Structure 1
């Protein structure tokens, strides 16, 4: 499809503006006024406000009324159109208590259908809120009541599952207090909702991606950066060019159009969380963005992770962590002196950041660090297996395959039999990477390594040697120089509710075509699926996700928690969303204990919208199990 004349002209003007920007920078000796800087390059600390310490409005009780409507919101002093709930973006904090029955009445004031999905909550499938799967949706100018028992505690969130409304502001936080005493003690807490917002309508964003997958990537490699030695070698660039891929293409939608928000406020608004020195402060951090993974740190403070996806974990002390789209992490910080700290939530492609202040009083600020160098995709992100350790820094000082398998399930995650049978990994490959070099000879475009995948446009690449990367720092953080959270650090506080070994295994490939912006499971988009993924009620399944693309994918299963296979036995961390690294694998064990039809999808909004979604059906009799699975 050829781009329209309007798109061509818009691209020309964008390039012209950037050339003038660079010319003026040269002529002015590098002194550039902030007005000339495009949004993606604005200094974060320009025009810092005195501070906004207003918490999100809170709703609680057995009966809660929510109204979905168009509204305006102000970000860094600029008005922008949005969809909000009860007049706010994010939507109000819903605070419930474990053991109560919640009744939430939603009135739709839009001229289109809407919905609310209670992300991470275990509810009857009719209350899960996915139009066309679990209920018909909420028609325009109508009201629907959700009612369900609250059986868990923790930090969660809610959002629209209709169209692309989530991108426009239709999301909000949920906190569920435990029925008894909270085992995570704190003196004060703050809910922090991270998100991304664009003045462009989400359908405009999607159209631009369909026309040109890298449309929003303004951080492409240049001849100047190559000559300066900041980027890859000429040989590496030729290799990438041969595959028609760009190693800077880490994120589909970037700070070129996004402003990154904390509780609906831009970096210049200086949203502030208050504390008193000596307090133990709990930060409930939710990534409600449409397309952005965030790297979170608070320079000068240690972060103690105490909860992941609403589930308690043994405390892990780190300096930084990545929170993928749809994940939640509860963090304890203990500031002891009366100074301000900057909460930095840097977009994973380093094209911008969400920023807030942690301070004893409103109006205080701390230094806002500059954006770090953009990450570049590596051979590991291409699925080159043991080559990971040769070009990809890691604070663990070991490539993924070199982590010792402490338990049988750890070894299975690194190279399960079905992977070996399909040529997708080589158990015991040495650090020399000989096997990986062999894989490089046919590259990511050779479909022979995945005979079960259809040869369709939705399968543009196949990772020759994908390996479990849950022990590695997330993309771009391997050389951060301080402690980074990895999935293998997470250990459940309590033993898992179902200790049974899986009775069967299944493998699901995450596939895509960046040039045509098509995404799918096993090469099949949602509108092409002939039957749902069938599970028997109560069965135990080991699922391995294989990422054949060079984009990370946060995969979410509705209605269930699963246990990550990371070597912790019956204390495996329980999650509802797992971020699968580019060219990598992730394995989890699942008990199919919720009868009904459940959405299963990538939580990158435009990936889901482009087809990376299917339906999981759980039935008592297990009818319909097909050749997609095999005995363990």
Structure 2
């Protein structure tokens, strides 16, 4: 990637006009920031309260190949925006493209007219026009921003946000690094989506084989293979788009380019980790270095020490690491289907590297992923349950059932993937867009996530997250709402309650300040990171009074997730799966909160 036709003087003038500059970082494209220049940010950074951003085209080079990207101020990822809680910010966004664009401020609490979703909260930004976003900063933490127009997000239109607290930060640290994880393909995202619609398994190069059955490497018995075949399902359909086409980036760097952040031994280093990818869920670890999770989705949580965590699309996690040795450490962000990884390095000095671990074996889907995790398999002759995947949080009263993939399966599952209207809830449209209804979806918040069930170290689970401060709204929910995540995997159709957004579905309605308990039921065998704009919700994970606040939650295959929502933001808000192509294929709706008293005009 380069910034064409700009000399040093033009860059300096643009940087001053675009907001405060931290050092001279803004003069260098993101790909050239190979080491940290100081104790604060290590990405080109703009500070509030007045920031100018320009959306345009740029070439982007990774792994020796050059492609076409959508960028902000010529950078991939876009500049880090650094603001402070209590500020009023003014962000002027100029569109130099030949198509409409937009910016959504992911996780920020703001008037709905400033949320940046074309057709929902504003018309979009037309070519060669400027739109000014103005809103107060009501929070602190790690967030990000991205386009909500077309598939520009998949082509580089995203960047990080750090909001410093108005008072003392409860997290103590000596140095920080922002790590933006993403996926990049030289195939245009519309080409990728077209291939998925024609053949959903197009990018799956890790399917089970006859050789794998014979030598045992597939880790499946013949009866299990027959079961999957009868159901016309692929036990390794983990991610729709894989490392077969994606290069996994860290701050715009491919694995061979090895982005490096510096530290001094003994420092407390804060890593602000953002999953800005289009379609990739990552398992993150730093071999030889424990991580203490201190923040999830920008909200502080009670510290919990782990060795690895899964970060779904659009989530953020802040962790503290304290390297004491004078050596390098590899930061691994491995795709959950083990088809590839992003790689970066923490080191005391530039040029140092550490061993890069090999990719792990491809995981297999299980009975729980089919939506049978809540069934009594022992009574059905399926053997003992596998409890090795338990988390180490407070799990009292939760259903932790899981099923070992190697258990014998004497039942006839041949029709299990067929729609059964008698099992569908009354509000579900059971048509071609629904190829399965989970028989017994379970709460899996205390289970280790996909690909991490068998690792021999500590893994973060949602049940470990506990809000640092008490929840503000102590009212019990006044009603309950159940929303089903549905799809037809063979046709790459996705929706809520069996309907695509294009079918003119009714919005999800809440009264202003209403307290509602919402349960998301995943009837599919794919994970879905579900994001609600303009709000935080309390994840019901067993920590009453200290339920963690989230704006995005990953709903595991065949599972259900419950959250408590106080609908305190009037307006119309997007609600969708953050797998970009699932959203474009229909898993999108509008949450409308009325009346509008108190909304900005």
Query: TM (normalized to structure 1)?
Result: 0.84
- Pairing 1:429-468 to 2, within 5 Å after superposition: 443-447=416-420, 448-452=422-426, 453-468=428-443
Aligned to 2:479: 504
- Pairing 1:226-625 to 2, within 5 Å after superposition: 226-231=213-218, 232-386=220-374, 395-397=388-390, 404-405=396-397, 443-447=416-420, 448-452=422-426, 453-620=428-595
Aligned to 1:163: 150
Could you say what secondary structure the match of 2:94 adopts? Answer: strand
Could you say what secondary structure the match of 1:569 adopts? Answer: coil
Residue of 104, 121, 124 corresponding to 1:117: 104
- Distance (whole Å) between structure 1 residues aligned to residue 32 and residue 158 of structure 2: 27
Aligned to 2:26: none
CA shift at 1:528, angstroms? 0.8
CA shift at 1:61, angstroms? 2.1
Identify which range, 277-286 or 448-457, moves more after superposition: 448-457
CA shift at 1:620, angstroms? 2.2
Cα displacement string for residues 561-612 of structure 1 (whole angstroms, at most 9, x for unaligned residues)? 0001111011000000000000000000000000000000000000000000
Aligned to 1:191: 178
Distance 1:391 1:299, change over 3 A: farther
Residue of 145, 149, 157 corresponding to 2:136: 149
State whether residues 51 and 363 of structure 1, in contact with CA within 8 Å, keep that contact through their aligned partners in structure 2: no
CA shift at 1:442, angstroms? 5.9
State whether residues 392 and 464 of structure 2, in contact with CA within 8 Å, keep that contact through their aligned partners in structure 1: no
Cα displacement string for residues 149-182 of structure 1 (whole angstroms, at most 9, x for unaligned residues)? 0000000000000010000000000000000111
- Distance (whole Å) between structure 2 residues aligned to residue 605 and residue 511 of structure 1: 16
- Distance (whole Å) between structure 2 residues aligned to residue 233 and residue 213 of structure 1: 25
Distance 1:499 1:442, change over 3 A: farther
Distance 1:392 1:116, change over 3 A: farther
CA shift at 1:440, angstroms? 5.7
- Distance (whole Å) between structure 2 residues aligned to residue 404 and residue 437 of structure 1: 32
- Distance (whole Å) between structure 2 residues aligned to residue 50 and residue 126 of structure 1: 36
CA shift at 1:79, angstroms? 1.7
CA shift at 1:243, angstroms? 1.5
Could you say what secondary structure the match of 1:571 adopts? Answer: coil
Identify which range, 495-504 or 385-394, moves more after superposition: 385-394
- Distance (whole Å) between structure 2 residues aligned to residue 258 and residue 380 of structure 1: 28
State whether residues 529 and 614 of structure 1, in contact with CA within 8 Å, keep that contact through their aligned partners in structure 2: no
* Unaligned stretches of 5+ residues in structure 1: 1-48, 416-427, 623-632
State whether residues 419 and 434 of structure 2, in contact with CA within 8 Å, keep that contact through their aligned partners in structure 1: no
- Distance (whole Å) between structure 2 residues aligned to residue 619 and residue 535 of structure 1: 7
CA shift at 1:53, angstroms? 1.3
Distance 1:513 1:88, change over 3 A: same
CA shift at 1:530, angstroms? 3.4
Could you say what secondary structure the match of 1:555 adopts? Answer: strand
Could you say what secondary structure the match of 1:362 adopts? Answer: coil
Cα displacement string for residues 116-146 of structure 1 (whole angstroms, at most 9, x for unaligned residues)? 0000000100000000000000011111000
- Distance (whole Å) between structure 2 residues aligned to residue 391 and residue 73 of structure 1: 51
- Distance (whole Å) between structure 2 residues aligned to residue 399 and residue 582 of structure 1: 21
Cα displacement string for residues 498-547 of structure 1 (whole angstroms, at most 9, x for unaligned residues)? 11100000000000111111000000000113321110001100000000
- Pairing 1:87-102 to 2, within 5 Å after superposition: 87-102=74-89
Aligned to 1:628: none
CA shift at 1:397, angstroms? 4.6
Is 1:131 matched with 2:118?
Answer: yes
Could you say what secondary structure the match of 1:369 adopts? Answer: coil
State whether residues 459 and 511 of structure 1, in contact with CA within 8 Å, keep that contact through their aligned partners in structure 2: yes
- Distance (whole Å) between structure 2 residues aligned to residue 365 and residue 334 of structure 1: 18
Cα displacement string for residues 14-59 of structure 1 (whole angstroms, at most 9, x for unaligned residues)? xxxxxxxxxxxxxxxxxxxxxxxxxxxxxxxxxxx99921531000
CA shift at 1:237, angstroms? 1.2
State whether residues 84 and 165 of structure 2, in contact with CA within 8 Å, keep that contact through their aligned partners in structure 1: yes
Distance 1:560 1:437, change over 3 A: farther
- Distance (whole Å) between structure 1 residues aligned to residue 475 and residue 494 of structure 2: 34
CA shift at 1:236, angstroms? 1.0
- Distance (whole Å) between structure 2 residues aligned to residue 131 and residue 437 of structure 1: 51
* Unaligned stretches of 5+ residues in structure 2: 1-30, 37-41
Could you say what secondary structure the match of 2:545 adopts? Answer: helix
Distance 1:621 1:170, change over 3 A: closer
Distance 1:51 1:374, change over 3 A: farther
State whether residues 571 and 596 of structure 2, in contact with CA within 8 Å, keep that contact through their aligned partners in structure 1: no
Aligned to 1:629: none
- Distance (whole Å) between structure 1 residues aligned to residue 390 and residue 266 of structure 2: 35
- Distance (whole Å) between structure 1 residues aligned to residue 432 and residue 535 of structure 2: 32
Distance 1:497 1:398, change over 3 A: closer
Distance 1:603 1:397, change over 3 A: closer
CA shift at 1:430, angstroms? 13
Residue of 44, 52, 64 corresponding to 1:77: 64
Could you say what secondary structure the match of 1:268 adopts? Answer: coil
Could you say what secondary structure the match of 1:381 adopts? Answer: helix
Distance 1:57 1:394, change over 3 A: farther
Cα displacement string for residues 460-508 of structure 1 (whole angstroms, at most 9, x for unaligned residues)? 1111000100110101211111110000000000001111100000000
State whether residues 394 and 478 of structure 1, in contact with CA within 8 Å, keep that contact through their aligned partners in structure 2: no
